[in-house]
Structure 1
Amino acid sequence: MIFDVQDFQKEVIERSKTKPIVVDFWAAWCGPCRMLSPILEELAEEAKEKWDLAKLNVDEWGEVAIAYGVSGIPDVRIFIGGEEKDRFVGLQPKAAIQSWLEKNLGQEKKKIKWKEAIDLFEQGRFHESFLAFERDQEKPENPQESLICARLLLLANPQKALDVLSPSAGLEDPTLFEAIKFLALLLLGKSTDDWTDGKEKREFMEGLEALKKMDVEKGLSIGIGLLHQNKNMGEGLVLKTVRSLFHYLGPRHPLSLKYSRAFSTAVNI
Protein backbone atom coordinates (compact mmCIF):
# COMPACT_ATOMS: atom_id res chain seq x y z
CA MET A 1 0.00 0.00 0.00
CA ILE A 2 1.24 3.49 -0.88
CA PHE A 3 -0.28 6.54 0.80
CA ASP A 4 0.31 10.20 1.65
CA VAL A 5 0.72 10.83 5.38
CA GLN A 6 -2.11 12.77 7.04
CA ASP A 7 -1.61 11.66 10.66
CA PHE A 8 1.98 10.58 11.40
CA GLN A 9 1.30 9.15 14.86
CA LYS A 10 -1.64 7.04 13.70
CA GLU A 11 -0.56 6.09 10.17
CA VAL A 12 3.14 5.49 10.84
CA ILE A 13 3.89 4.95 14.53
CA GLU A 14 0.75 3.02 15.49
CA ARG A 15 0.42 1.22 12.17
CA SER A 16 4.04 0.04 12.24
CA LYS A 17 3.22 -2.03 15.31
CA THR A 18 1.40 -4.46 13.00
CA LYS A 19 3.20 -3.92 9.68
CA PRO A 20 6.54 -2.29 8.73
CA ILE A 21 6.15 1.22 7.35
CA VAL A 22 8.74 2.84 5.06
CA VAL A 23 8.51 6.65 5.17
CA ASP A 24 9.71 8.76 2.24
CA PHE A 25 10.41 12.34 3.37
CA TRP A 26 10.31 14.35 0.13
CA ALA A 27 9.40 17.67 -1.51
CA ALA A 28 8.18 18.61 -4.98
CA TRP A 29 11.18 20.88 -5.64
CA CYS A 30 13.69 18.11 -4.82
CA GLY A 31 15.07 16.50 -8.00
CA PRO A 32 16.58 13.42 -6.30
CA CYS A 33 13.23 12.91 -4.52
CA ARG A 34 11.41 12.75 -7.84
CA MET A 35 13.94 10.17 -9.06
CA LEU A 36 13.76 8.07 -5.90
CA SER A 37 9.96 8.01 -5.49
CA PRO A 38 9.24 5.72 -8.49
CA ILE A 39 11.87 3.25 -7.23
CA LEU A 40 10.30 3.12 -3.78
CA GLU A 41 6.82 2.79 -5.24
CA GLU A 42 7.95 -0.05 -7.49
CA LEU A 43 9.50 -1.86 -4.53
CA ALA A 44 6.34 -1.32 -2.49
CA GLU A 45 4.25 -2.89 -5.26
CA GLU A 46 6.66 -5.83 -5.51
CA ALA A 47 6.51 -6.33 -1.71
CA LYS A 48 2.89 -7.49 -2.01
CA GLU A 49 1.74 -5.85 1.24
CA LYS A 50 4.72 -7.06 3.32
CA TRP A 51 5.33 -3.39 4.11
CA ASP A 52 3.64 -0.08 3.29
CA LEU A 53 5.11 3.08 1.80
CA ALA A 54 4.14 6.36 3.47
CA LYS A 55 5.00 9.55 1.58
CA LEU A 56 5.50 12.69 3.69
CA ASN A 57 5.89 16.08 1.98
CA VAL A 58 8.23 18.09 4.24
CA ASP A 59 6.80 21.39 2.97
CA GLU A 60 3.36 20.37 4.20
CA TRP A 61 4.48 18.57 7.36
CA GLY A 62 7.45 20.66 8.48
CA GLU A 63 6.81 20.07 12.18
CA VAL A 64 7.12 16.31 11.77
CA ALA A 65 10.27 16.71 9.69
CA ILE A 66 11.83 18.94 12.36
CA ALA A 67 10.79 16.61 15.16
CA TYR A 68 12.48 13.69 13.41
CA GLY A 69 15.64 15.60 12.61
CA VAL A 70 15.23 15.58 8.83
CA SER A 71 17.99 17.86 7.53
CA GLY A 72 18.32 16.67 3.93
CA ILE A 73 16.01 14.99 1.44
CA PRO A 74 15.23 12.47 0.18
CA ASP A 75 15.31 10.90 3.63
CA VAL A 76 13.89 7.37 3.91
CA ARG A 77 13.17 5.61 7.21
CA ILE A 78 11.69 2.28 8.19
CA PHE A 79 9.47 1.98 11.26
CA ILE A 80 8.84 -1.39 12.91
CA GLY A 81 7.02 -2.02 16.18
CA GLY A 82 6.28 1.66 16.69
CA GLU A 83 9.93 2.70 16.44
CA GLU A 84 12.33 3.90 13.79
CA LYS A 85 14.69 1.04 12.95
CA ASP A 86 16.92 2.43 10.19
CA ARG A 87 17.27 5.19 7.60
CA PHE A 88 19.18 6.33 4.56
CA VAL A 89 19.55 9.77 2.99
CA GLY A 90 19.97 10.63 -0.68
CA LEU A 91 19.24 8.92 -3.97
CA GLN A 92 20.09 5.19 -3.93
CA PRO A 93 19.91 2.54 -6.70
CA LYS A 94 17.15 -0.03 -6.51
CA ALA A 95 19.53 -2.87 -5.63
CA ALA A 96 20.94 -0.95 -2.67
CA ILE A 97 17.45 -0.19 -1.37
CA GLN A 98 16.45 -3.84 -1.74
CA SER A 99 19.46 -4.86 0.35
CA TRP A 100 18.57 -2.23 2.93
CA LEU A 101 15.01 -3.53 3.14
CA GLU A 102 16.12 -7.16 3.39
CA LYS A 103 18.53 -6.27 6.19
CA ASN A 104 15.82 -4.55 8.22
CA LEU A 105 12.92 -6.85 7.44
CA GLY A 106 14.83 -10.11 7.67
CA GLN A 107 16.35 -9.77 11.12
CA GLU A 108 14.69 -11.69 13.92
CA LYS A 109 13.68 -9.67 16.93
CA LYS A 110 16.39 -9.70 19.55
CA LYS A 111 15.97 -9.33 23.27
CA ILE A 112 16.10 -5.63 24.08
CA LYS A 113 18.43 -4.85 26.95
CA TRP A 114 17.18 -2.41 29.58
CA LYS A 115 13.74 -2.44 27.92
CA GLU A 116 11.86 -1.23 31.00
CA ALA A 117 14.33 1.62 31.54
CA ILE A 118 14.18 2.63 27.87
CA ASP A 119 10.37 2.54 27.83
CA LEU A 120 10.20 4.75 30.95
CA PHE A 121 12.74 7.16 29.45
CA GLU A 122 10.63 7.45 26.29
CA GLN A 123 7.64 8.31 28.49
CA GLY A 124 9.57 11.11 30.19
CA ARG A 125 9.72 9.26 33.52
CA PHE A 126 13.43 9.85 33.94
CA HIS A 127 13.86 9.01 37.63
CA GLU A 128 11.96 5.75 37.28
CA SER A 129 13.99 4.99 34.16
CA PHE A 130 17.25 5.39 36.06
CA LEU A 131 16.03 3.15 38.90
CA ALA A 132 14.96 0.47 36.41
CA PHE A 133 18.36 0.66 34.74
CA GLU A 134 20.11 0.30 38.10
CA ARG A 135 18.06 -2.83 38.86
CA ASP A 136 18.91 -4.45 35.56
CA GLN A 137 22.04 -6.61 35.64
CA GLU A 138 22.62 -6.52 31.87
CA LYS A 139 26.04 -5.18 30.88
CA PRO A 140 26.90 -3.37 27.62
CA GLU A 141 28.75 -5.55 25.12
CA ASN A 142 29.61 -3.00 22.43
CA PRO A 143 29.93 0.77 21.89
CA GLN A 144 26.29 1.13 20.82
CA GLU A 145 25.06 -0.48 24.04
CA SER A 146 27.48 1.71 26.02
CA LEU A 147 25.85 4.74 24.39
CA ILE A 148 22.43 3.55 25.55
CA CYS A 149 23.80 3.11 29.08
CA ALA A 150 25.23 6.63 29.05
CA ARG A 151 21.89 8.01 27.92
CA LEU A 152 20.09 6.33 30.83
CA LEU A 153 22.75 7.42 33.33
CA LEU A 154 23.29 11.01 32.21
CA LEU A 155 20.91 12.97 34.45
CA ALA A 156 21.52 10.98 37.62
CA ASN A 157 25.25 10.45 37.25
CA PRO A 158 26.89 12.48 34.47
CA GLN A 159 30.41 11.39 35.47
CA LYS A 160 29.47 7.72 35.19
CA ALA A 161 27.80 8.47 31.85
CA LEU A 162 31.10 9.90 30.62
CA ASP A 163 32.99 6.91 31.96
CA VAL A 164 30.88 4.34 30.10
CA LEU A 165 31.00 6.14 26.75
CA SER A 166 33.08 4.31 24.16
CA PRO A 167 34.79 6.04 21.20
CA SER A 168 32.21 7.40 18.75
CA ALA A 169 33.76 5.85 15.61
CA GLY A 170 31.36 3.42 13.93
CA LEU A 171 28.37 4.28 16.12
CA GLU A 172 24.90 4.27 14.57
CA ASP A 173 24.26 7.72 16.04
CA PRO A 174 27.46 9.75 16.62
CA THR A 175 25.32 12.87 17.14
CA LEU A 176 23.81 11.30 20.27
CA PHE A 177 27.32 10.49 21.49
CA GLU A 178 28.40 14.11 21.15
CA ALA A 179 25.19 15.38 22.79
CA ILE A 180 25.62 13.13 25.83
CA LYS A 181 29.29 14.02 26.16
CA PHE A 182 28.55 17.76 25.98
CA LEU A 183 25.63 17.59 28.42
CA ALA A 184 27.59 15.47 30.90
CA LEU A 185 30.42 18.03 30.97
CA LEU A 186 27.87 20.82 31.29
CA LEU A 187 26.15 19.14 34.24
CA LEU A 188 29.55 18.66 35.86
CA GLY A 189 30.11 22.42 35.64
CA LYS A 190 32.89 22.33 33.06
CA SER A 191 31.47 24.54 30.29
CA THR A 192 30.14 27.75 31.84
CA ASP A 193 33.23 29.40 33.36
CA ASP A 194 33.72 31.81 30.42
CA TRP A 195 30.18 33.21 30.68
CA THR A 196 30.12 36.43 32.74
CA ASP A 197 27.71 36.30 35.66
CA GLY A 198 24.39 38.05 35.08
CA LYS A 199 20.63 37.52 34.90
CA GLU A 200 20.78 35.38 31.74
CA LYS A 201 23.47 33.11 33.15
CA ARG A 202 21.53 32.70 36.39
CA GLU A 203 18.45 31.64 34.41
CA PHE A 204 20.56 29.20 32.40
CA MET A 205 22.04 27.73 35.59
CA GLU A 206 18.49 27.35 36.94
CA GLY A 207 17.77 25.23 33.87
CA LEU A 208 20.84 23.11 34.56
CA GLU A 209 19.73 22.59 38.15
CA ALA A 210 16.36 21.41 36.84
CA LEU A 211 18.14 18.88 34.63
CA LYS A 212 20.11 17.61 37.61
CA LYS A 213 16.78 17.05 39.35
CA MET A 214 15.59 15.19 36.22
CA ASP A 215 13.07 17.90 35.39
CA VAL A 216 13.97 17.88 31.69
CA GLU A 217 10.87 19.78 30.64
CA LYS A 218 11.76 22.73 32.87
CA GLY A 219 15.37 22.72 31.66
CA LEU A 220 14.27 22.61 28.03
CA SER A 221 11.64 25.30 28.54
CA ILE A 222 14.12 27.67 30.22
CA GLY A 223 16.67 27.13 27.45
CA ILE A 224 14.14 27.84 24.69
CA GLY A 225 12.89 30.90 26.57
CA LEU A 226 16.43 32.28 26.65
CA LEU A 227 16.82 31.62 22.92
CA HIS A 228 13.71 33.68 22.27
CA GLN A 229 15.51 36.57 23.97
CA ASN A 230 18.78 36.05 22.09
CA LYS A 231 19.61 32.98 20.04
CA ASN A 232 23.33 33.67 20.44
CA MET A 233 23.15 33.96 24.22
CA GLY A 234 26.21 32.75 26.05
CA GLU A 235 28.17 32.83 22.78
CA GLY A 236 26.09 29.94 21.49
CA LEU A 237 26.17 27.86 24.68
CA VAL A 238 22.40 28.00 25.20
CA LEU A 239 21.68 27.00 21.60
CA LYS A 240 24.14 24.10 21.77
CA THR A 241 22.58 22.97 25.05
CA VAL A 242 19.03 22.96 23.72
CA ARG A 243 20.05 21.21 20.50
CA SER A 244 21.92 18.60 22.55
CA LEU A 245 18.83 18.05 24.70
CA PHE A 246 16.72 17.39 21.60
CA HIS A 247 19.33 14.89 20.36
CA TYR A 248 19.47 13.30 23.81
CA LEU A 249 15.71 12.88 23.97
CA GLY A 250 15.35 11.75 20.37
CA PRO A 251 12.86 13.01 17.75
CA ARG A 252 10.00 10.77 18.91
CA HIS A 253 10.14 11.75 22.57
CA PRO A 254 6.99 13.56 23.80
CA LEU A 255 9.07 16.54 24.96
CA SER A 256 10.76 16.84 21.56
CA LEU A 257 7.40 16.85 19.84
CA LYS A 258 5.96 19.33 22.35
CA TYR A 259 8.78 21.89 22.11
CA SER A 260 10.06 21.51 18.54
CA ARG A 261 7.92 24.36 17.18
CA ALA A 262 8.94 26.77 19.95
CA PHE A 263 12.59 25.90 19.36
CA SER A 264 12.27 26.34 15.61
CA THR A 265 10.62 29.73 16.09
CA ALA A 266 13.36 30.84 18.51
CA VAL A 267 16.26 30.02 16.18
CA ASN A 268 14.65 31.21 12.95
CA ILE A 269 13.30 34.62 13.95
Structure 2
Amino acid sequence: MSDSPYIQEVTAENFEQVVIHGSMERPVLVDFWASWCQPCQMLMPVLAKLAEEYQGRFILAKVNTEEQQAVAAQFGIRSIPDVRLFHGGREVDGFTGALPESAIREFLDKHIPRESDSTVEQAMQALAAGDTASAITALEAAAAADPDNPRIPVALAQTHMTAGDWEAAKAALDRLPASEQDQPEVTRLLGQLHFASEAPPVQDLPELETRLAADENDSEARYRLAMGLVLQQRFEQAIEHLLTLMRKDRQYGDDAARKALLRLFDMLGDDPLAQDGRRRLFNLMH
Protein backbone atom coordinates (compact mmCIF):
# COMPACT_ATOMS: atom_id res chain seq x y z
CA MET A 1 0.00 0.00 0.00
CA SER A 2 1.39 3.40 -0.93
CA ASP A 3 1.93 6.00 1.80
CA SER A 4 0.89 8.76 -0.59
CA PRO A 5 -2.58 10.27 -0.08
CA TYR A 6 -2.79 10.58 -3.88
CA ILE A 7 -2.24 6.87 -4.65
CA GLN A 8 -4.62 4.09 -3.65
CA GLU A 9 -4.76 0.34 -4.12
CA VAL A 10 -8.15 -0.64 -5.55
CA THR A 11 -10.05 -3.88 -5.07
CA ALA A 12 -13.50 -5.10 -6.04
CA GLU A 13 -14.69 -4.04 -2.58
CA ASN A 14 -13.57 -0.39 -2.74
CA PHE A 15 -13.67 0.28 -6.50
CA GLU A 16 -17.08 1.95 -6.32
CA GLN A 17 -16.02 4.25 -3.49
CA VAL A 18 -12.53 5.15 -4.71
CA VAL A 19 -13.12 5.37 -8.45
CA ILE A 20 -16.79 6.04 -9.15
CA HIS A 21 -17.66 8.21 -6.15
CA GLY A 22 -14.15 9.65 -5.93
CA SER A 23 -14.23 10.83 -9.53
CA MET A 24 -17.23 13.02 -8.71
CA GLU A 25 -14.82 15.25 -6.76
CA ARG A 26 -11.68 15.01 -8.94
CA PRO A 27 -10.36 12.84 -11.79
CA VAL A 28 -9.25 9.31 -10.93
CA LEU A 29 -6.60 7.61 -13.07
CA VAL A 30 -6.95 3.81 -12.88
CA ASP A 31 -3.81 1.80 -13.70
CA PHE A 32 -4.45 -1.88 -14.49
CA TRP A 33 -1.14 -3.69 -13.97
CA ALA A 34 0.50 -7.01 -13.01
CA SER A 35 3.79 -7.92 -11.37
CA TRP A 36 4.99 -9.97 -14.37
CA CYS A 37 4.37 -7.09 -16.82
CA GLN A 38 7.64 -5.30 -17.60
CA PRO A 39 6.01 -2.26 -19.28
CA CYS A 40 3.80 -1.95 -16.18
CA GLN A 41 6.90 -1.76 -14.00
CA MET A 42 8.25 1.00 -16.25
CA LEU A 43 5.01 2.97 -16.18
CA MET A 44 4.19 2.77 -12.47
CA PRO A 45 6.94 5.08 -11.16
CA VAL A 46 6.09 7.65 -13.81
CA LEU A 47 2.43 7.66 -12.78
CA ALA A 48 3.40 7.82 -9.10
CA LYS A 49 5.72 10.75 -9.75
CA LEU A 50 2.97 12.63 -11.58
CA ALA A 51 0.43 11.88 -8.85
CA GLU A 52 2.76 13.50 -6.32
CA GLU A 53 3.61 16.41 -8.60
CA TYR A 54 -0.05 17.21 -9.33
CA GLN A 55 -0.69 17.29 -5.56
CA GLY A 56 -4.18 15.82 -5.50
CA ARG A 57 -5.51 17.27 -8.73
CA PHE A 58 -6.06 13.61 -9.62
CA ILE A 59 -5.98 10.33 -7.70
CA LEU A 60 -3.98 7.37 -8.98
CA ALA A 61 -5.88 4.11 -8.40
CA LYS A 62 -3.84 0.91 -8.91
CA VAL A 63 -5.59 -2.35 -9.83
CA ASN A 64 -3.50 -5.54 -9.66
CA THR A 65 -5.11 -7.62 -12.39
CA GLU A 66 -3.69 -10.87 -10.99
CA GLU A 67 -5.47 -10.33 -7.68
CA GLN A 68 -8.50 -8.42 -8.99
CA GLN A 69 -9.48 -10.51 -11.99
CA ALA A 70 -13.18 -9.69 -11.64
CA VAL A 71 -12.49 -5.95 -11.87
CA ALA A 72 -10.21 -6.46 -14.88
CA ALA A 73 -12.86 -8.58 -16.59
CA GLN A 74 -15.55 -5.99 -15.87
CA PHE A 75 -13.58 -3.43 -17.90
CA GLY A 76 -12.52 -5.81 -20.65
CA ILE A 77 -8.82 -5.59 -19.88
CA ARG A 78 -6.97 -7.71 -22.45
CA SER A 79 -3.46 -6.26 -22.44
CA ILE A 80 -1.59 -4.26 -19.84
CA PRO A 81 -0.66 -1.67 -18.85
CA ASP A 82 -4.13 -0.32 -19.49
CA VAL A 83 -4.90 3.09 -17.97
CA ARG A 84 -8.43 4.54 -17.72
CA LEU A 85 -9.44 8.02 -16.59
CA PHE A 86 -12.70 8.47 -14.66
CA HIS A 87 -14.36 11.83 -14.07
CA GLY A 88 -17.86 12.68 -12.98
CA GLY A 89 -18.58 9.07 -12.12
CA ARG A 90 -17.79 7.64 -15.55
CA GLU A 91 -14.89 6.60 -17.74
CA VAL A 92 -13.91 9.46 -20.05
CA ASP A 93 -10.58 8.50 -21.62
CA GLY A 94 -7.67 6.10 -21.49
CA PHE A 95 -4.49 4.77 -23.04
CA THR A 96 -2.54 1.52 -23.26
CA GLY A 97 1.17 0.85 -23.09
CA ALA A 98 4.01 2.56 -21.26
CA LEU A 99 3.77 6.06 -22.72
CA PRO A 100 6.59 8.56 -22.10
CA GLU A 101 6.09 11.07 -19.31
CA SER A 102 5.53 13.98 -21.72
CA ALA A 103 2.66 12.12 -23.43
CA ILE A 104 1.05 11.26 -20.09
CA ARG A 105 1.26 14.91 -19.00
CA GLU A 106 -0.47 15.93 -22.22
CA PHE A 107 -3.13 13.28 -21.60
CA LEU A 108 -3.72 14.47 -18.04
CA ASP A 109 -3.79 18.16 -18.89
CA LYS A 110 -6.70 17.61 -21.27
CA HIS A 111 -8.86 16.56 -18.33
CA ILE A 112 -7.47 17.91 -15.09
CA PRO A 113 -8.46 21.43 -14.05
CA ARG A 114 -5.70 24.00 -13.68
CA GLU A 115 -5.67 27.05 -11.42
CA SER A 116 -5.92 29.31 -14.47
CA ASP A 117 -9.14 27.55 -15.55
CA SER A 118 -11.04 29.50 -12.91
CA THR A 119 -9.83 32.73 -14.52
CA VAL A 120 -11.06 31.46 -17.88
CA GLU A 121 -14.48 30.77 -16.38
CA GLN A 122 -14.64 34.25 -14.85
CA ALA A 123 -13.59 35.81 -18.16
CA MET A 124 -16.31 33.89 -20.01
CA GLN A 125 -18.86 35.16 -17.49
CA ALA A 126 -17.67 38.72 -18.12
CA LEU A 127 -17.94 38.12 -21.86
CA ALA A 128 -21.50 36.80 -21.48
CA ALA A 129 -22.32 39.98 -19.55
CA GLY A 130 -20.98 42.08 -22.42
CA ASP A 131 -17.75 43.18 -20.73
CA THR A 132 -15.24 42.12 -23.39
CA ALA A 133 -12.52 44.47 -22.12
CA SER A 134 -12.45 42.84 -18.67
CA ALA A 135 -12.53 39.38 -20.26
CA ILE A 136 -9.52 40.15 -22.46
CA THR A 137 -7.56 41.68 -19.57
CA ALA A 138 -8.19 38.64 -17.37
CA LEU A 139 -7.30 36.16 -20.10
CA GLU A 140 -4.08 37.94 -21.03
CA ALA A 141 -3.04 37.86 -17.38
CA ALA A 142 -3.90 34.16 -17.20
CA ALA A 143 -1.87 33.49 -20.35
CA ALA A 144 1.17 35.20 -18.81
CA ALA A 145 0.82 33.15 -15.61
CA ASP A 146 0.07 29.82 -17.33
CA PRO A 147 1.21 29.94 -20.97
CA ASP A 148 0.80 26.17 -21.45
CA ASN A 149 -2.95 26.09 -20.76
CA PRO A 150 -4.57 25.52 -24.18
CA ARG A 151 -7.96 26.70 -22.93
CA ILE A 152 -6.72 30.29 -22.62
CA PRO A 153 -5.92 30.97 -26.32
CA VAL A 154 -9.26 29.44 -27.31
CA ALA A 155 -11.12 31.66 -24.85
CA LEU A 156 -9.11 34.69 -26.02
CA ALA A 157 -9.99 33.95 -29.63
CA GLN A 158 -13.68 33.69 -28.75
CA THR A 159 -13.50 37.00 -26.87
CA HIS A 160 -11.66 38.86 -29.65
CA MET A 161 -14.14 37.50 -32.20
CA THR A 162 -17.03 38.78 -30.12
CA ALA A 163 -15.33 42.18 -30.17
CA GLY A 164 -14.89 41.91 -33.95
CA ASP A 165 -11.10 41.83 -33.80
CA TRP A 166 -10.41 38.97 -36.21
CA GLU A 167 -6.63 39.52 -36.38
CA ALA A 168 -6.27 39.32 -32.59
CA ALA A 169 -8.41 36.18 -32.58
CA LYS A 170 -6.18 34.54 -35.19
CA ALA A 171 -3.06 35.56 -33.23
CA ALA A 172 -4.51 33.93 -30.11
CA LEU A 173 -5.15 30.64 -31.91
CA ASP A 174 -1.66 30.75 -33.40
CA ARG A 175 -0.33 30.39 -29.86
CA LEU A 176 -1.72 26.87 -29.66
CA PRO A 177 0.64 23.93 -30.23
CA ALA A 178 0.12 21.86 -33.36
CA SER A 179 -1.42 19.04 -31.28
CA GLU A 180 -4.33 21.34 -30.34
CA GLN A 181 -4.99 22.77 -33.79
CA ASP A 182 -7.33 19.96 -34.84
CA GLN A 183 -9.52 20.08 -31.74
CA PRO A 184 -13.22 20.57 -32.68
CA GLU A 185 -13.53 23.94 -30.93
CA VAL A 186 -10.36 25.23 -32.59
CA THR A 187 -11.51 23.97 -35.99
CA ARG A 188 -14.81 25.79 -35.50
CA LEU A 189 -13.11 29.06 -34.58
CA LEU A 190 -10.61 28.85 -37.44
CA GLY A 191 -13.52 28.26 -39.79
CA GLN A 192 -15.31 31.32 -38.47
CA LEU A 193 -12.15 33.40 -38.94
CA HIS A 194 -11.82 32.22 -42.53
CA PHE A 195 -15.39 33.14 -43.36
CA ALA A 196 -15.01 36.47 -41.58
CA SER A 197 -12.10 37.30 -43.88
CA GLU A 198 -14.19 36.35 -46.93
CA ALA A 199 -17.51 37.87 -45.91
CA PRO A 200 -18.72 41.25 -47.16
CA PRO A 201 -19.94 43.91 -44.69
CA VAL A 202 -23.36 42.97 -43.38
CA GLN A 203 -24.89 46.07 -44.94
CA ASP A 204 -23.91 44.73 -48.40
CA LEU A 205 -26.03 41.58 -48.13
CA PRO A 206 -29.29 43.16 -49.41
CA GLU A 207 -27.44 44.47 -52.46
CA LEU A 208 -26.01 41.01 -53.16
CA GLU A 209 -29.48 39.47 -52.84
CA THR A 210 -30.80 42.05 -55.32
CA ARG A 211 -28.00 41.25 -57.77
CA LEU A 212 -28.72 37.56 -57.51
CA ALA A 213 -32.46 38.07 -58.01
CA ALA A 214 -31.69 39.99 -61.19
CA ASP A 215 -29.15 37.43 -62.46
CA GLU A 216 -29.07 33.94 -60.95
CA ASN A 217 -25.79 33.28 -62.75
CA ASP A 218 -23.96 36.06 -60.90
CA SER A 219 -21.39 33.76 -59.29
CA GLU A 220 -19.56 36.49 -57.41
CA ALA A 221 -22.76 37.73 -55.78
CA ARG A 222 -23.79 34.19 -54.83
CA TYR A 223 -20.41 33.34 -53.33
CA ARG A 224 -20.09 36.58 -51.34
CA LEU A 225 -23.67 36.26 -50.13
CA ALA A 226 -22.94 32.72 -48.90
CA MET A 227 -19.90 33.97 -46.98
CA GLY A 228 -22.00 36.62 -45.29
CA LEU A 229 -24.72 34.12 -44.43
CA VAL A 230 -22.17 31.85 -42.73
CA LEU A 231 -21.00 34.74 -40.58
CA GLN A 232 -24.61 35.36 -39.55
CA GLN A 233 -24.92 31.63 -38.73
CA ARG A 234 -27.55 31.16 -41.44
CA PHE A 235 -25.79 27.94 -42.38
CA GLU A 236 -28.60 26.18 -44.23
CA GLN A 237 -29.02 29.07 -46.68
CA ALA A 238 -25.26 29.35 -47.14
CA ILE A 239 -24.99 25.64 -47.98
CA GLU A 240 -27.79 25.96 -50.54
CA HIS A 241 -26.06 28.86 -52.28
CA LEU A 242 -22.69 27.08 -52.35
CA LEU A 243 -24.17 23.85 -53.72
CA THR A 244 -26.01 25.90 -56.37
CA LEU A 245 -22.77 27.67 -57.27
CA MET A 246 -21.07 24.31 -57.71
CA ARG A 247 -23.80 23.18 -60.09
CA LYS A 248 -23.82 26.39 -62.11
CA ASP A 249 -20.17 27.46 -62.10
CA ARG A 250 -17.83 24.82 -60.67
CA GLN A 251 -14.73 26.72 -61.81
CA TYR A 252 -15.59 29.96 -60.01
CA GLY A 253 -12.70 31.11 -57.83
CA ASP A 254 -10.68 27.95 -58.47
CA ASP A 255 -13.41 25.65 -57.10
CA ALA A 256 -14.11 28.09 -54.25
CA ALA A 257 -17.61 26.75 -53.54
CA ARG A 258 -16.42 23.19 -52.87
CA LYS A 259 -13.55 24.39 -50.70
CA ALA A 260 -15.90 26.64 -48.72
CA LEU A 261 -18.37 23.79 -48.22
CA LEU A 262 -15.71 21.44 -46.88
CA ARG A 263 -14.45 24.11 -44.48
CA LEU A 264 -18.01 24.84 -43.36
CA PHE A 265 -18.75 21.15 -42.78
CA ASP A 266 -15.59 20.83 -40.67
CA MET A 267 -16.65 23.89 -38.72
CA LEU A 268 -20.13 22.46 -38.05
CA GLY A 269 -18.77 19.09 -36.90
CA ASP A 270 -21.55 16.61 -36.10
CA ASP A 271 -24.37 19.02 -36.90
CA PRO A 272 -27.02 17.25 -39.05
CA LEU A 273 -26.72 20.11 -41.55
CA ALA A 274 -23.10 19.12 -42.15
CA GLN A 275 -23.94 15.43 -42.48
CA ASP A 276 -26.71 16.14 -45.00
CA GLY A 277 -24.54 18.65 -46.82
CA ARG A 278 -21.67 16.18 -47.19
CA ARG A 279 -24.05 13.64 -48.68
CA ARG A 280 -25.41 16.16 -51.17
CA LEU A 281 -21.91 17.33 -52.07
CA PHE A 282 -20.81 13.75 -52.69
CA ASN A 283 -23.81 13.11 -54.94
CA LEU A 284 -23.14 16.32 -56.82
CA MET A 285 -19.51 15.44 -57.44
CA HIS A 286 -20.19 11.83 -58.45
TM-score by length of 2: 0.42
Query: Larger C-alpha radius of gyration, 1 or 2?
Result: 2
TM-score by length of 1: 0.44
Higher RCO (C-alpha 8 Å, min separation 6):
1
